[in-house]
Chains A and B, each alone.
Chain A
Amino acid sequence: MNVRGLMAVGWAEARVGLLQEMQFRIVGFLQLLGFLIEPIVLLVVWRTVSLESGSIGSYSGDEIVAYYVVWTLVRAMNLALTPYVWEWWIQFGRVSHLLMHPTSVYWRSTMNFAGMKLLWFTMWLPIGGMLFLVFRPNIVLTWRTFVFGFFALWGAYFVRASYQFLIGLIGFWTTRVAALFEIIIMSEILLSGRLVPMSVMPEWVQSVSDVLPFKWTFQFPIEVIIGRLNSPDVFTGWMFQAGWFLLLITSIGLVWKRAVRRYTAVGS
């Protein structure tokens, strides 16, 4: 398919994703509210610690508040199709009709979720506003915040969507891919900055997280938006995102060819 065709399918899928999500806007809003529990607990704990010790890792008390407020935005924006869905699709033959279409399933599913983000972002605005009012994070909003943050957020999404898609493809070999996904999620929580900024972790853990994709999907966009990174660091982060994205889509391309050969179209 040519680039024009690919873009047309991408836009059509994004539109469908947005329309689907609008059917369940209340559910989506409640889900976003549910996401608040995790960062608020972490925010309160780490702010208390920082008030006693002066700072957490290299973060001041104000920065840690900003970190977890922006966390809520990043969490909403890097949500992607999970391997749980893949497991279900493959197990019950729901992937059959997608395989029959003359377009990439990766592209369609990624753009479908991308379309939903417009609604999620809109719904996040009042939630983010409320968090700003309650916790008063120290974030200076400039053009840099929006432009750099925009690209870092989308980069984070495409990297996260890609590794989740790749894990999902394991469903063509085993019907219980969710167990593996749990391990990946655990690694992500520890090594992405989702639980705590990586600078709080031991040096060797930070080194490991630098070369894995997780940090570039959570901590990096958060730090870009709260203005903790200078331009060269932002550029380096984008390069890591781009590198991981290319590596992951190449891997998806290679695995996909073998995966579809194993499909048995169970139940459909």
Chain B
Amino acid sequence: MKRQRKEGMIRNLFFAIAFVSIAILLLILFFLVKAGVPIFEKVSVTEFIFGKYWYPTASPPDFGILPLVLASLFVTLFSAAIAVPLGVMTAIYIAEIASARLKEIVKPAVELLASLPSVVIGFFGMVVVAPFLQQTFDLPTGLNLFNASLMLAFMSVPIICTISEDAISSVPPELKEASLALGANRIESIFRVIIPASLSGISTGIILGMARAIGETMVVLMVAGGAAMIPGSLFDPVRPMPASIAAEMAEAPFQSDHYHALFAIGIILFVFNLVFNSVADYISHKHRQVGAATL
């Protein structure tokens, strides 16, 4: 009896520990809301999100984050345009084409790429890529939307690649063997059988890779240029949401409108992440590959 009680207590202890993740997530949300919501006494939610002017330190201040939201969306989309093909193709290469030996080199290379600190990639973008872009395209500044997208792409490629590779590797070999036996060559089997069978995993990877790009801070803080304006071209400097928070929090007086507004931007980033993850979760549960028969 005593032994059973002890076992039960231990089980509950571990449950409590596992529950910490949920608790942290709720705590984050609670404190963001607590510190962010007071701004909506000054401006309405629509004015905040769709306002075209972000001049938080002017008097009177303007708290419209549309330029920041658009900047975030643009850098995310452009980086996805680079990272999605690169990440998925690399995943296919690792899972289906590479010899065992090359696989042992490329896979760790991708993992190491993922481990590069974002501040180092930002620094690289600033001191190497920016001068290069400025000279090559004769631009007023190399710190712009394009540079930021390029650097972000290299941060989301490893995520897209790792998750896609997992999905592709877990396609049952019978499917591929059947396709090869019917006379399809390897590339036809990849396009017509393996990719369709692992599409849900690949989509999950793409979504999570984009989530990473939209929330990435140091890169956009250092290489996006920092101008809080709606960009007119690919080579305009921009100021995505995370960059705004990181750059301005140090100057924003405690509990001021500016301080609350930056937390409100944090709420938006949190919600973006929640939405991206919900979609990924939905896809991976809805279209899970079960055995060989569900293609």
**Are the chains A and B members of one assembly?**
no
Q: Name B residues whose Cβ lies closer than 8 Å to a Cβ of A.
A: none
